[in-house]
Amino acid sequence: MMLQIYFWPNVILHLDGDAFFSSVFQAVNPNLKGKPVVTGSERGLATAVSYEARKYGVKRGMLTWQIKKICPQCVILESDYELYSLFSHKMFGILRTFTPTVEEYSVDEAFADIKGLRRPLSMSYLEIAQAIKNKVESSLGISISVGVSITKSLAKLASSHQKPSGLTVIDGRNIEELLAQTKIQDVWGIGPNTTAYLEKFNVKTALDFVLKSENFIQSNLSKPFYEIWKELRGEKIYELDTRGKQSYKGITRSQTFTPSTNSKDLLWARLSIHIEEAFTQARKFHYLVGKISPFLKTQNFEYHTSEIKLKEKVAYPYLIRKKLREAFDLIYKKGVVYRSTGCTISGFQEDNLSQMTLFDKDQKLEEKIKKIYPLFEKKKIDFGSMLFDKQRSEKIKHKPRLNLPILELMQ
């Protein structure tokens, strides 16, 4: 044995949802169980692929027409981020019933520190991991994979070791076997370019990588890869970020459409929907938004974009409707044909950190909006979605009203 490491210097658990987006749909629609399921129809490509669909060769990023060709029986669904968020919140909530030290790494992944829980829970680390796995899967009806090891990098490798629905526990004395079975390209943080570079030095597995000398790593690679090298050798470098929602830096919503168009009305209508969707996601995390960057992409893949910086952050786009329209008018160019619209919002602040004054002239308006928007989010109000229905769009004879959807209620 080349790596001599104390049995459990640290205990990090990594939880990973298996084909999470498609698995969530299978959980809420029992008739989809066992069937090939793909999400992403709204973008025209696969954003998530169930394990049943993968057996037919369906891969993430594949276009929907390609999917139908190789797997005609595949069920292709529109993404539902509200549903994903609900499952994610419940999954991480279950994890926190075992330990408060949880990092929400992504919507379907989390790290947790479970060191010191064996005595209070009267279970081994393997039993703790199994209990977490069982509770998530039985409560939510989805499949997850769990890995436990002594660093975040090793725990992430462990969770990927027996997917789907795997459980792998690797203590400090048994990491070499895991590393020997892991291809270098499967190491968290090592991409295709670095993989190709390392293969020139005959580094093909994670074990080959960690057995390289410290001098070799520092001389040939940058600091991030030196940190990965240390993590894989069992030295804890990456601490858990338990700040959760604070780690979200921005939210983007966009869509490419066919055929491309120069219609100012249609482009504004589509952009309005993206703005609403992005703000809806921000409100789920209780964020106020300080910066909005709408954009249009041309047929030549050039971006026309603008940026709105707000002195007072907002939760609802209606409150800045004039600024949004002005930004759109600024980036729209007559005579240019566009293939997609979208926006990115950022500059977040927790909603509870902002307090309106008693005499704020917009206070009554915002209170009214707060009552109306939930109906919009739950789709209890239709704001004219037929503009985006390909089969019905050709039947529209009148000029549509093209304010932000919520404005229809406020006028």
Instruction: Place domain 248-410 in its CATH homologous superfamily.
Output: DNA polymerase, Y-family, little finger domain (3.30.1490.100)
Looking only at the bridges linking them, the beta strands covering 48-49 and 167-169 are unpaired
* E strand segments, 25-120: 37-39, 48-49, 75-77, 102-106, 109-113
- Name the residues annotated as catalytic: 109
For the ranges 58-62, 281-285, 307-311, the lowest mean pLDDT is seen at 281-285
DSSP character for 48?
A: E
Where do the domains of the chain lie? 1-182, 248-410
| Domains 1-182 and 248-410 equal at CATH topology level | no
Read off the tokens for 59: 């891969």
364-377 average pLDDT score? 65
* Residues of the chain above pLDDT 70, percent: 82
Position 356 confidence tier, pLDDT thresholds 50, 70, 90? very low
CA distances from 35 to 16, 329, 347 (A): 21, 46, 41
What confidence tens digit (pLDDT) does each residue in 77-126 have? 988 876 888 889 889 999 999 999 999 988 899 999 999 999 999 999 99
Ranges 4-13, 62-71, 265-274, 393-402: which has the least confidence: 393-402
Residue 352, pLDDT score:
56
pLDDT, greater one: 5 or 235:
235
β-pairing verdict for 75-77 and 37-39: parallel
pLDDT tens per residue across span 52-81: 999 999 998 899 899 999 999 999 998 887
pLDDT at 355 over 50: no
Q: Which CATH number fits domain 1-182: 3.20.20.330, 3.40.50.10860, 3.30.70.270, 3.40.50.920?
A: 3.30.70.270
Distance, CA of 172 to CA of 150 (rounded, Å): 6
> What pLDDT score does 229 carry?
97
Q: How many CB atoms lie within 10 A of CB 301?
A: 8
CA distances from 117 to 110, 111, 127, 173, 217 (A): 18, 15, 11, 20, 36
The whole model's pTM is what?
0.62
pLDDT band for position 192 (50/70/90)?
Answer: confident
